[in-house]
Chain A
Amino acid sequence: MFHLIIFSVFGLICIVGAVNLLVQRHPINSALSLVVVMGSLAVEYLLLGAEFVAAVQIIVYAGAVMVLFVFVIMLLNAGVEERTQGSRVALWFGVPGILVGGLLVSWVMLEQAGIQAVPVGALPGPPKTLAWLLFHEYLLPFEITSILVLIAIMGAVVLASRPESVQRSKKEA
Chain B
Amino acid sequence: MTSNLHLWLIPILPLIGASINGLLGKRFTRQVVSAIALSFCGAAFAMAVWISAQLSSLTLPHVETLAQWIRVSDFRADFAFNLDQLSLVMLLVVTGVGFLIHIYSIGYMWEEGGFYRFFAYLNLFMFFMLTLVLAANYLLMFIGWEGVGLASYLLIGFWFTKDSAASAGKKAFIVNRVGDFGFLIALFLMIKNFGSLDFSKVFASVASMPGNQDLLTSIGLLLMVGAAGKSAQIPLYVWLPDAMEGPTPVSALIHAATMVTAGVYMVSRSHVIFEHSTTALTVVAIIGTLTALFAATIGVCQTDIKKVLAYSTISQLGYMFMACGVAAFSAGIFHLMTHAFFKGLLFLAAGSVIHAVGGEQDMRRMGGLRNKIPVTFWTMTAATFAIAGFPPFAGFFSKDTILFKAANSPYGSWAYWAIGVFTAFLTSFYMFRLWFLTFFGQYRGEEPHGHGEHGHGGIHESPKVMLIPLVILAFLSIVGGWIGSERFDRFLAPTLHSSVTAVEAPSGESEGRAASELVFTSISVAAALCGFLLAWQLYHRRPELPQRIAHSVQGIYTTVLNKYYVDELYAAIFVKPLIDGSTKLLWHGIDRDIIDATLDSSAESAEHVSDTVRHMQSGNIRSYAGWISVGAAALVVYMVWTGGR
Contacts and interface: CB of A to CB of B under 8 A. Distances in A.
B636 A104 contact: yes
B500 interface: no
A9 interface: no
Contacts of A100: 633, 636-637
Contacts of B633: 97-98, 100-101, 104
Contacts of A94: 622-623, 625-630
B72 interface: no
A93 B637 contact: no
Which interface class (under 10, 10 to 19, 20 to 34, 35 or more) fits A?
A: 10 to 19
Interface string A57-96: 0000000000000000000000000000011111101110
B627 to A, nearest CB: 6
Contacts of A86: 618, 620, 622-623
B626 A101 contact: no
B640 interface: yes
B623 A101 contact: no
Contacts of B623: 86-90, 94
B488 to A, nearest CB: 77
Contacts of A95: 626, 629
Contact of A101 (B618, B620, B625, B636): B636
A89 B637 contact: no
Contacts of B625: 90, 94
Q: Kindly name the residue among B634, B636, B637 whose own CB sees the greatest number of chain A CB atoms within 10 A.
A: B636
Interface residues of B, number: 16
A54 to B, nearest CB: 29
B629 A98 contact: yes
B624 to A, nearest CB: 8
A97 B618 CA distance: 19
A101 B629 contact: yes
B632 A87 contact: no
Interface in B574-630: 618, 620, 622-623, 625-630
Contacts of B628: 94
Contacts of A87: 618, 620, 622-623, 626
Contacts of A93: 626-627, 629-630
A108 interface: yes
Contacts of A140: none
A104 B640 contact: yes
Q: Kindly name the residue among A89, A91, A93 whose own CB sees the greatest number of chain B CB atoms within 10 A.
A: A89
A87 B621 CA distance: 9
Interface in A147-171: none
A83 to B, nearest CB: 13
A10 B634 CA distance: 31
A105 interface: yes
Contacts of A108: 640
A94 B622 CA distance: 9
A136 B205 CA distance: 71
A90 B622 contact: yes
A93 B623 CA distance: 9
A97 B632 contact: yes
B532 to A, nearest CB: 84
Contacts of B629: 93-95, 97-98, 101
B357 to A, nearest CB: 63
Contacts of B626: 87, 89-91, 93-95, 97
Nearest to A101: B633
A108 B632 CA distance: 16
A140 B634 CA distance: 36
A87 B619 CA distance: 10
Given A97-B632, A101-B632, A101-B633, A89 B640 contact: no
Contacts of A101: 629, 632-633, 636-637
Nearest to A99: B633
Interface string A90-122: 110111011011001100100000000000000
Interface string B219-262: 00000000000000000000000000000000000000000000
Nearest to B630: A97
A106 to B, nearest CB: 11
Contacts of B620: 86-87, 90
A108 B628 CA distance: 22
Contacts of A98: 629, 632-633
A142 to B, nearest CB: 30
Nearest to A90: B626
A101 B637 CA distance: 7
Nearest to B628: A94
Contacts of B630: 93-94, 97
B222 to A, nearest CB: 64
Contacts of B636: 100-101, 104-105
A95 B640 CA distance: 19
A65 B496 CA distance: 91
A57 B623 CA distance: 31
Nearest to B644: A108
Contacts of B632: 97-98, 101
A103 to B, nearest CB: 10
A78 B625 CA distance: 23
B618 to A, nearest CB: 7
Interface string A7-45: 000000000000000000000000000000000000000
Nearest to A91: B626
A91 B622 CA distance: 9
A97 B634 CA distance: 8
Q: Kindly name the residue among B633, B634, B636 whose own CB sees the greatest number of chain A CB atoms within 10 A.
A: B633
Given A90-B623, A98-B629, A104 B618 contact: no
A101 B632 CA distance: 7
A25 to B, nearest CB: 16
A3 B630 CA distance: 36
Given A91-B626, A97-B629, A104-B636, 20 more contacts: A86-B620, A86-B623, A87-B620, A87-B622, A88-B623, A89-B618, A89-B623, A89-B626, A90-B620, A90-B626, A93-B630, A94-B629, A97-B626, A97-B632, A97-B633, A100-B633, A100-B636, A100-B637, A101-B633, A101-B636
Interface of B: 618, 620, 622-623, 625-630, 632-634, 636-637, 640
Interface of A: 86-91, 93-95, 97-98, 100-101, 104-105, 108
21 contacts: A86-B618, A86-B620, A86-B622, A87-B618, A87-B620, A89-B618, A89-B623, A89-B627, A90-B623, A93-B626, A93-B627, A93-B630, A95-B626, A97-B629, A97-B632, A98-B632, A100-B636, A101-B629, A101-B632, A101-B636, A104-B633
**8 interchain residue pairs of minimum CB distance:** A94-B626, A90-B626, A101-B633, A87-B623, A97-B633, A89-B623, A97-B630, A90-B622
